[in-house]
Amino acid sequence: MDKSNFAFGKWNYILLAIGAVAIILGFVLMMGPSSSETHFEPDIFSFRRIKLAPTICFLGFVFVIIAIMYKGRRNGNTDTKEEIKNK
């Protein structure tokens, strides 16, 4: 299989995975009990749910954008290590 036909390389997928894990972690940190008409839950205004979790989600989205835009090798050489050894 010719690897040059793939849209993303190995590092793109690694960065995508890091971004996806960060986004999921941010949403998990946002979860918690909610207030109802009869009970007020002060945890909805905690540092974790108001500042930490959205920041982690934002950084996850930044990682995903970087992963999509990352080009890989900048010198234009598309030969893999195996192809270089065989030359």
Closest alpha carbon to 69 in 17, 12, 22: 12
Residue for token pair 């050894």: 85
- Give residue 31's pLDDT: 93
What's the whole-model pTM score?
Answer: 0.73
* Inter-residue contact 67 to 21 (CB < 8 Å): no
Per residue of the chain (87 residues), what is the pLDDT tens digit? 666 677 888 889 999 999 999 999 999 999 988 888 888 888 889 999 999 999 999 999 999 999 999 887 655 555 566 656 666
Q: How far apart are CA 73 and CA 79, in angstroms?
A: 10
Q: How far apart are CA 25 and CA 1, in angstroms?
A: 35
